[in-house]
C-alpha cells in the first residue's frame, strides 16, 4: 500500500477515534435506542463519505458542477449535526430519530444513485466521442504519412485531396455509416500497400475510391443531423 493511501486512511480514522472516545467517555454505553440509532447513522454517513471517492474513481465525478463526493460530504455533515442533536436529546422513544434519519439516508442514496447513473452516461458519451474522433484521426494520420512519398504530381494531388477531405469530415459517427467506415479502413490499408510498392495507378484509384466513401459517409451524417 502506498504511503499516501496509508496517510489518508489514518486521517479518516482520526474522526472515528475521537468521536467514539468522546461518545463512550461522556455518556457511556447505557444509552436509549434513539442514541444508538443516531450513532449508527453517523457512522454510515461517514463511511459513505470515505468510500465515495473509490466508488467514483473511474468516473468524471461531476454532474451540473457538483461532484458525487460533495453530495456524500454534505450528507455526512447534515447527518452528523442531526444525529448529534438526537444524541444530546437522549430521547427514550426511538421513532423520531429513526424516521428522520432514515428519510435522510433514503434521500441521500437516491441522489447518489442518480449522480452515479448520470456519471455513467457521461462516461459513455465521452468514450463514444473518443472512439468517433479516433476514426477520423487514425485515417487522416495514415494518409498524411503517405503524402509526398511517390513524388508524382497526380498521386500527390490525390493524396492531398483525400487528406483534406478526411481531416474536414465530421468526427461523429452512427450505425448507418459503420460499414462505410470499415470499408474506408480496408481501402486505406490497400492504399498504403500501393504506395509502399510504388504502384502509382493503384494509389490514385484507391485514393479516389476512399474519397467517394468519405463523401458518401459525410452526406449520410449530414442528412441525419
pLDDT tens column, 67-97 = 788 899 999 999 999 999 999 999 999 999 9
pTM above 0.75, yes or no: no
Q: Is residue 132 part of a domain?
A: no
pLDDT > 90? residue 210: yes
Q: Is residue 190 part of a domain?
A: yes
Range of the domain at 211: 147-224
Give the pLDDT band (50/70/90) at residue 57: low
| Cell 463514444 sits on residue | 128
| Cell 487514425 sits on residue | 138
Q: Give the integer Cα–Cα distance in Å for 38 and 126.
A: 41
Q: Is residue 134 part of a domain?
A: no
Residues 3 and 61 in one domain: no
Residues 6+ apart with CB under 8 A from 98: 34, 37
Residues 37 and 117 in one domain: yes
**Closest Cα to residue 85, out of 44, 46, 26, 42?**
42
Average pLDDT of 176-183?
A: 89
Question: How many domains is the chain built from?
Answer: 3
Average pLDDT of 111-123?
A: 81
Beta-strand relationship, 62-63 and 66-67: antiparallel
| Neighbouring C-alpha atoms within 13 Å toward the C-beta of 221 | 18
Residues 18 and 83 in one domain: no
Q: Is residue 108 part of a domain?
A: yes
Q: Is residue 197 part of a domain?
A: yes
What residue spans of the chain are helical by DSSP H?
3-27, 33-55, 68-89, 95-146, 153-167, 178-196, 200-224
pLDDT of residue 132: 57
Check residue 67 and report its DSSP letter. Answer: E
Amino acid at each position: 500500500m502506498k504511503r499516501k493511501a496509508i496517510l489518508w486512511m489514518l486521517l479518516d480514522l482520526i474522526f472515528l477515534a475521537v468521536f467514539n472516545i468522546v461518545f463512550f467517555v461522556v455518556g457511556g454505553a447505557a444509552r436509549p435506542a434513539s442514541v444508538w440509532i443516531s450513532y449508527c447513522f453517523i457512522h454510515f454517513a461517514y463511511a459513505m463519505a470515505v468510500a465515495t471517492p473509490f466508488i467514483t474513481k473511474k468516473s468524471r465525478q461531476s454532474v451540473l458542477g457538483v461532484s458525487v463526493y460533495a453530495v456524500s460530504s454534505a450528507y455526512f455533515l447534515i447527518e452528523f449535526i442531526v444525529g448529534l442533536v438526537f444524541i444530546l436529546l437522549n430521547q427514550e422513544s426511538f421513532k423520531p430519530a429513526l424516521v428522520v434519519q432514515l428519510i435522510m439516508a433514503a434521500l441521500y442514496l437516491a441522489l447518489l444513485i442518480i449522480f452515479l447513473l448520470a456519471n455513467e452516461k457521461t462516461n459513455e458519451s465521452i468514450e463514444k466521442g473518443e472512439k468517433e474522433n479516433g476514426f477520423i484521426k487514425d485515417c487522416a494520420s495514415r494518409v498524411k504519412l503517405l503524402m509526398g512519398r511517390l513524388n508524382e504530381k497526380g498521386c500527390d494531388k490525390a493524396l492531398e485531396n483525400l487528406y483534406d477531405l478526411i481531416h474536414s469530415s465530421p468526427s461523429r459517427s452512427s450505425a448507418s455509416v459503420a460499414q462505410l467506415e470499415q470499408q474506408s479502413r480496408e481501402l486505406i490499408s490497400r492504399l498504403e500497400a500501393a504506395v509502399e510498392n510504388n504502384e502509382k495507378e493503384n494509389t490514385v484509384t484507391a485514393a479516389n475510391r476512399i474519397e467517394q466513401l468519405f463523401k458518401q459517409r459525410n452526406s449520410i451524417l449530414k442528412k441525419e443531423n
